[in-house]
Chain A
Amino acid sequence: ETVLTQSPDTLSLSPGEGATLSCRASQSLNNNFLTWYQQKPGQPPRLLIYGASNRATGIPDRFSGSGSGTDFTLTISRLEPEDFAVYYCQRYDGSAPMYSFGQGTRLEIK
C-alpha cells in the first residue's frame, strides 16, 4: 500500500508570499497520476492540479504542480487571501486501496 505524506502539516504565510507544499509517496508512482485539491471550510474539495502538473479549468496560473516518482510539489507563487485553505494530494494505485489522499496541509494566514 502506497501512503502519501504531506508536509508541512501547517504553513503560516502572508498574502503576497510564495508557498511550497510537498507530497511524498512511500513507493514510486509508475505514472504521474497525482492530483491536488483545495478545500475551504464547509465546502467540498476543489480540483486544482491533475497529472502532477496540469491546471484544472479556471485555476489561476499562480498555482503550479511538479514532481515525479515519489516527490511532488504544489507551488503557489503569490498568495491571495482566498488561497488560505487546506490542500490535499491524491494518487491512483492499481492495487488496493485504489485511491488515497494525503493527510492535508493547512495554509494559514500569518
Chain B
Amino acid sequence: QLQLQESGPGLVKPSETLSLTCSVSGGSISSNNAYYWAYIRQPPGKGLEWIGSVHSSGSTYYNPSVKDRLSISRDTSKNQFSLKLTYATAADTAVYYCARHEGWGRFDPWGQGTLVTVSS
C-alpha cells in the first residue's frame, strides 16, 4: 500500500526558505512513468492549491503563482521528493500535502499534511 509522509519545520521566519520532504513507502517514485509526485497546500480555513509536481523521470512542473520561488527535487535513493520555497511570507502559511497523481489529475493517495507557519 502506497503511503506518503510529509516532514519539515513547522515554523519558518519571513524571507527565509520553506523546506519540506515527502517520504514515500510501498512504491518507487521513479519506477512508473505514469506517475507524478506533487505538493498541494491549503491555507487555514481555505481551499486547495496545487503548487508543483515532479515526474518520475525528474521533470518538474510549477504553478506560475510560485514558479519564481519554488524548486521541487527528488532523491531516488531515499525514495523522497522535496520542496523549497524561497522568500517565504505569511501568505505561504498553510497545511502542505504531498500526493501522487497521474498526468491528467487524480491525486491519490495523499499524505496526512503538515502545517507550516511563516512568522517571526
Residues on A lying within 8 angstroms of B by beta carbon are 31, 33-35, 37, 43-47, 50-51, 56, 88, 90-92, 96-104
Contact = CB atoms under 8 A, between A and B. Distances in A.
Interface residues of B, number: 24
Given A44-B97, A44-B112, A44-B113, A98 B107 contact: no
B103 A92 contact: yes
Nearest to A32: B104
Interface string B101-114: 10111111111110
Q: Specify the main secondary structure of chain B where it touches its partner.
A: strand
Interface string B35-57: 00010000000011110010000
Contact of B107 (A31, A34, A90, A97): A90
Contact of B50 (A34, A43, A44, A100): A100
B53 to A, nearest CB: 8
Nearest to A33: B104
22 contacts: A33-B105, A34-B105, A37-B48, A44-B110, A44-B111, A44-B112, A45-B48, A45-B107, A45-B110, A47-B108, A50-B106, A56-B108, A88-B47, A97-B50, A97-B65, A98-B50, A98-B53, A98-B61, A99-B53, A99-B105, A101-B47, A102-B47
Contacts of A102: 47
A104 B113 CA distance: 18
Contact of B105 (A35, A44, A96, A103): A35
Given A45-B48, A88-B47, A103-B47, A97 B104 contact: no
Interface of B: 38, 47-50, 53, 61, 63-65, 97, 99, 101, 103-113
A50 B108 CA distance: 10
A88 B48 contact: yes
B50 A50 contact: no
Nearest to A1: B64
Contacts of B110: 44-46
Nearest to B112: A44
Contacts of A97: 50, 63-65
B104 A31 contact: yes
